[in-house]
Amino acid sequence: MTFEQVTSFEQMLGRLEEHTQVIVLLKSRSCSVCEAVETQALEFSAAFPDVHFAGVQLEDVPEIRGQWTVFSAPTILFFYHGKEVWRGSRFISWDELGAAVERTLGR
């Protein structure tokens, strides 16, 4: 599985409307940790095939920083019915994110 690369804020909002659960990876080209987190996120995504995964390059969609108050990369946001329900930055707690996803799936 790969992340759908989103190239505009409007496109990202469309994904939030289309999908019940969305995990967004926000990364920067100057971030050394981002590639490792992306690899971990791809492994994580295998456990949740019903969740939509999207990636955003912050340099390509700068308005997302202000709209979603993103100060560092990588940042992972989990949305449920278009509302942010979990956020992690820099060092991601995959267990916490997994628990948040499980709660929304009713498991």
Domain range for 68 is 4-105
Report the C-alpha gap between 36 and 99 in whole angstroms: 21
Report the C-alpha gap between 59 and 33 in whole angstroms: 16
CA 39: distance to chain centroid? 13
Closest CA to 42 of 58, 26, 25, 17: 25
CATH number of the domain residue 77 falls in: 3.40.30.10
Number of domains in the chain: 1
Mean pLDDT (the chain) is 94
Q: List beta partners, residue 54.
A: 4, 24
pLDDT band at 107; cut points 50, 70, 90: low
| DSSP per-residue letters across 15-55 | HHHH-SEEEEEEE-TT-SSHHHHHHHHHHHHTT-TTSEEEE
24-66 pLDDT tens trace: 999 999 898 999 999 999 999 999 999 999 999 999 999 999 9
